[in-house]
Amino acid sequence: MHCHNHYVSLLLAFIGTLMVAQGLSAADVEEVHVRASRMDQTLSTIAGAASVIDQHDIQLGRQQFALDESLNRVPGMFSQNRYNFAQDLRISLRGFGARANFGIRGIRVFVDGLPSTVTDGQSVIDDVELGAINRVEVIRGPSSSLYGSASGGVISLYSESGTATPYAEARLTVGEFDQQKYHLKTGGEIDKLNYFMSASYLSYEGFRNHAELRQGTFNSKFTYAVGENSDLQVVFNAMDSPTREDSGALTFAAAAADPGQAQPRNVASNAGEDIDQQKFGWTFNHSIGDQHQFTVRNYYVWRDFETFLPFGTHTFGADDGVTGFDRFFYGGGAQYTFTSALFGRPNQFSIGVDVDRQEDDRQRFLNDSGVKGLLAFDQVEEAEAVGIYFRNIFAVTDTLQFTFGGRYDSVDLMVDDKFLANGDQSSKLEFDEFNPTVGLNWNAWGNINLFANYATSFETPTFTELASPSRGLPVSLGGFANVSAQTADSYEFGLRGAIHDRINLDIAYFYMEVDDEVTSVSNVGNRSFFRNADTERQGVEAAAVITLLDGLQVTTAYTWSDFEFDAFATSPAAVGQELPGIPEHQFYAEVAYTHASGAYAVWDIIRVGQFFADNANTVAAGRHTVANLRFGHDFEFGNTTVGPFVGINNLFDEDYFANVRLNVLFGGRTFEPAPDRNVYGGISLRMNF
């Protein structure tokens, strides 16, 4: 167990010491409501691990490049790839998502209640403007009983709303590596209408060669009070990113010799992406008294995507290294919640349905040294999913709540092959799963709650994970390979609450058995291929927020992960080895000071332990420690606030890897170096009307 008992003992001893020294108090603690649970619950009453991050931690003085800037404080979460925008931020929860070569797997992502996870299970958040996000909720652990295909958990983001006093705010950020970001936002209320709009543009050359980014985003949210007990929320978002260059991965020796260089294959292949996306959706909420609540939602997403992968005549001969698709992703759902008494005790029951459909018109073309060549692949991919769920929360006593629920999902993945030169690869897969959950939450004493739960989960492979390699080369056939959906059983125990109203604790232990986990087995030129394996997971997640003085706060988060292969038919040598892409130990600490005058300073540090880059555990990324500092001051002049800010990334100039690609088949091109010490700064101007 790699001396984990020592860490657990230290953690328990630390908690015990705090309890004895401070004493437990029933002092009033501000209740934080969590909407990602699909029930009207406070954070303290959830029978599972969950975290909430507010606008202050998301936006204040941040560079606002990627969500991991603020999510590093969430235990159980590990992120990579902040600086390679062509590969997207890779987030894992309890190890789920680490296998992704791009985007997010195993985690359901929602923005303003509408999905950013498409029907086949892949999530992308490249359209999210962090400067417009008010709140992030994270449910850690299996969430299939609520949301369907999701082994790792749920990340739910909520954008800002308009304020009672209308305002307009402009923010300019500049930094090293030719970073320029312009952001405008406004919000307010007009009679029954609450409105918020945000527009931004980011250009960035990057620390490494061939890493240029150009991206514009527009986000809006309008909420109209239809009646005293009803409201309609409408969102429209658009994103255009014509330039997202991919500098590629290097060997360890090349990264050490010149971390700023690009992989020559990537330059010669013109590796990178071009993305254009629009999203429209609405949510209608209606209540009848205190007992009946109805929610109906509907959404539409259009996404045009093209990527050049690092293949070409200079490598293997012309191959299908240019991929493009036109996506139409749409769906909706409804939920009814009944709040009443059962056997004389408070009870809340919800039932709902989700319907989602994804249509990808996908082609691949020959990549002839960076020039799009002849068509080599043409298929229409369709995914349909229907899920019916229920959940009930029953107050057994004034201090004990019992939660149970379940969800039935039917998911169909279909491919209609239009390119028949290599035979008809048309295929269809059907998945039908029911996933239950049960949990207890006990207000044991004061503001301390203990919780325990059991849950099952399932996760279908995405279309890209079903691709079958041909002849050991990057060329892939259409249709499906022999990859099954993964299933898991999860057990969790935890503690959450406040001590003496200045110390907030969040501690969880979990154990999971995963059957047929979709696992990376090779990575060739940014394209990964997968097989099934059985894995075993256990871990400890602990976080503490301590208010030392008014305005002075310390935040810590520690994660211990013991994840191993339990069975692997196609790679028996990996059995007993650690899962790649996840460090066994990770520690985060932050000291934040804010003054009533408007001055603030925040210092944070993250320590990431060694982790492996392949299933056989023969290639490793060494441990690293990265510190960051940001500070600023908000000056008020009547109705105007001016806020200059400065940030220093990688304060101690640590050499480390921002991303590690898993199971690289050829050449050892595994590592993507992170920027050295760099500075950014800017100014915001806000006017209230």
Q: Please name the helix (run of DSSP H) or strand (run of DSSP E) that holds residue 21, with its range, or none.
A: helix 4-22
At 238-256, the pLDDT tens digits run: 999 999 999 999 999 999 9
Contact 397, 343 (CB under 8 A): no
Residues 6+ positions from 448 with CB-CB distance below 8 Å: 24, 495, 496, 497, 498, 499, 505
Can you say how many angstroms the Cα of residue 630 is from the centroid of all Cα atoms in its chain? Answer: 24
Lowest mean pLDDT among 33-47, 281-295, 316-330: 316-330
| pLDDT for the residue numbered 87 | 86
DSSP 459-490: EPPPTGGG-EEETTEEEEESS--S-PPEEEEE
Nearest to 372 by CA among 430, 314, 425, 324: 324
At 379-433, the pLDDT tens digits run: 999 999 999 999 999 999 999 999 999 999 999 999 999 988 878 888 889 999 9
| pLDDT for the residue numbered 11 | 43
| pLDDT for the residue numbered 41 | 86
Nearest to 519 by CA among 583, 578, 602: 578
Q: Would you tell me how many other CB atoms lie within 10 Å of the CB of residue 192?
A: 11
End-to-end CA distance of the chain: 60
User: In this prediction, what percent of the chain has a pLDDT beyond 90?
Assistant: 78
Of 351 and 9, more confident: 351
Beta bridge mates, 605 = 589, 627
Asked if residue 265 has pLDDT above 60, the reply is yes
Nearest to 574 by CA among 544, 621, 534: 534
Query: Average model confidence (pLDDT) for the chain?
Result: 90
Residues 6+ positions from 5 with CB-CB distance below 8 Å: none
CA distance 502 to 552: 11
For the chain, the structural domain boundaries read 4-688
| pLDDT for the residue numbered 482 | 64
Q: How many helices (H) and strands (E) does the chain have?
A: 6, 38
Average pLDDT (70-91) is 94
- If pLDDT is split at 50, 70 and 90, which confidence band does 1 have? very low
CA 404 vs CA 293, 410, 509: distances in Å? 19, 21, 20
Domain 4-688 sits in CATH at: 2.40.170.20
- If pLDDT is split at 50, 70 and 90, which confidence band does 192 have? very high
| pLDDT for the residue numbered 320 | 75
Nearest to 457 by CA among 114, 110, 153: 153
| pLDDT for the residue numbered 21 | 34
CA-derived radius of gyration, the chain: 25
- If pLDDT is split at 50, 70 and 90, which confidence band does 36 have? confident
Contact 392, 405 (CB under 8 A): yes
Tell the residue number behind the tokens 């997640």, with chain if given.
Answer: 541
Nearest to 350 by CA among 387, 393, 401, 297: 393
Can you say how many angstroms the Cα of residue 1 is from the centroid of all Cα atoms in its chain? Answer: 28
Q: Tokens at residue 498, please?
A: 């406040």
3-state class (DSSP) for residue 229: coil
User: What is the pTM assigned to this prediction?
Assistant: 0.93
CA distance 352 to 516: 29
CA distance 462 to 565: 21
| pLDDT for the residue numbered 55 | 96
3-state class (DSSP) for residue 254: helix
Lowest mean pLDDT among 5-9, 173-177, 316-320, 365-369: 5-9
Q: Please name the helix (run of DSSP H) or strand (run of DSSP E) that holds residue 430, with its range, or none.
A: strand 427-445
Q: How many CA atoms lie within 13 A of 436 on its CB side?
A: 5
| Total residue count of the chain as it appears in this document | 689
The CA dihedral of 238, 353, 151, 11, to the nearest 10 degrees, is: 100
DSSP 2-18: TTHHHHHHHHHHHHHHH
At 600-615, the pLDDT tens digits run: 999 999 999 999 999 9
Asked if residue 46 has pLDDT above 70, the reply is yes
Lowest mean pLDDT among 25-29, 464-468, 532-536: 25-29
At 145-188, the pLDDT tens digits run: 899 988 899 999 999 999 999 999 999 999 999 999 999 999 99
DSSP 624-678: EEEEEEEEEE-EEETTEEEEEEEEEESTT----EEEE-SSB-STT--EEEPP-SE
Q: Tokens at residue 313, please?
A: 């005549």
Q: Tokens at residue 650, please?
A: 């990688």
**Cα angle, residue 559 at apex, residues 623 and 605 outer, rounded to 5°:** 55
User: In this prediction, what percent of the chain has a pLDDT beyond 70?
Assistant: 92
Asked if residue 484 has pLDDT above 90, the reply is no
Phi, psi of 6 (to 5 degrees): -65, -45
CA distance 636 to 631: 17
